[in-house]
């Protein structure tokens, strides 16, 4: 096991299985908030993996008890949100296009932007204490990337339940609806075992072509439909009173006063 982090950055990479599996741990803050620094660091990991032909899996997990509390709410405010969405959606495209199978080991809270990162993964392993959700609606906004990815993962009815209610689901319910693929006491060990049994015996080069082939339509949607979702968010949603009120109320630690406009 070789640690190849770039301290004091927000992402740590540990090379496992003779460097064929990279364990990528999200950190940098309490709750592993996905802010500009973490987004950029994770995009750099994706670029490095794409340029390292022997890497056969990226295993994403959070430092400590939780996967991630989600994206930075501060960066959702009107003066920062356009840049935030551009960075985050470029990260999504980088992860999809790197050609490496993506695995997620989820413990504790996996919310908002954290779940959107997980939705990009090919296989998701969750501990019993995992709680997964898209709570953006409670802040008066919506999740552009999850609006595209959740229906692919769990089907439209279950996706719309999560997107419109903002509720979190347990690991058991997440497994039942297909949001996760396996429950495990140790999701990291389960993910590594799956990689050993199902990935590492194959050609890394051929696997990358298989990943690209399986995700041709997803890659195209991330360049087409996601642009329309960004426009809806930035030009229409952020022009409303309630979007700004919900974000400010969260930062002020108070209940929002909705005007329904």
The token pair that represents 259 in the structure block: 């005007």
How far is Cα 248 from Cα 6, in angstroms, rounded to an integer? 34
CA–chain centroid gap for 85, Å, is 13
Mention every residue, 6+ apart, whose C-beta is less than 8 A from residue 178: 153, 154, 155, 158
Task: Please provide residue 58's backbone torsions phi and psi, each rounded to the nearest 5 degrees.
Answer: -110, 125
* The one catalytic residue among 3, 61, 116, 160: 116
Report which of 109, 88, 77 is spatially closest to residue 246, judged by C-alpha positions: 77
Give Cα separations from 138 to 133, 232, 246 (angstroms): 11, 18, 7
* The one catalytic residue among 40, 136, 182, 236: 136
**Which is it for strands 131-133 and 102-106: parallel, antiparallel or unpaired?**
unpaired
Region class of 21: left (phi > 0), else alpha (psi between -120 and 50), else beta: beta
**Quick check: is 116 catalytic?**
yes
**Quick check: is 136 catalytic?**
yes
Residues annotated catalytic, as ranges? 116, 136
């Amino acid at each position: 096991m070789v640690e190849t982090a770039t301290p004091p950055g927000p992402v740590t990479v540990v090379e496992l299985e003779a460097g064929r599996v990279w364990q990528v741990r999200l950190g940098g803050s309490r709750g592993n908030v996905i802010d500009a620094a973490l987004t950029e660091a994770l995009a750099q990991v994706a670029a490095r993996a794409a340029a390292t032909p022997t890497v056969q899996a990226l295993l994403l997990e959070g430092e400590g008890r939780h996967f991630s509390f989600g994206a930075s709410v501060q960066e959702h405010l009107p003066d920062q949100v356009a840049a935030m969405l551009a960075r985050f959606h470029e990260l999504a495209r980088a992860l999809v296009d790197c050609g490496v199978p993506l695995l997620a080991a989820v413990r504790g809270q996996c919310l908002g932007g954290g779940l959107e990162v997980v939705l990009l993964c090919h296989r998701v392993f969750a501990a019993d204490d995992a709680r997964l959700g898209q709570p953006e609606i409670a802040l008066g906004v919506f999740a552009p990337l999850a609006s595209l990815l959740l229906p692919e993962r769990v089907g439209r009815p279950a996706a719309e339940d999560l997107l419109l209610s903002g509720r979190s689901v347990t690991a058991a319910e997440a497994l039942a609806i297909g949001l996760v693929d396996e429950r495990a006491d140790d999701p990291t060990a389960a993910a590594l075992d799956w990689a050993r049994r199902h990935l590492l015996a194959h050609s890394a080069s051929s696997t990358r072509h298989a990943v690209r082939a399986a995700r041709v339509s997803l890659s195209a949607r991330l360049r087409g439909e996601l642009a329309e979702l960004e426009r809806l968010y930035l030009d229409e949603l952020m022009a409303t009173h309630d979007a700004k009120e919900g974000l400010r109320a969260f930062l002020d630690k108070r209940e929002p006063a909705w005007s329904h406009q």
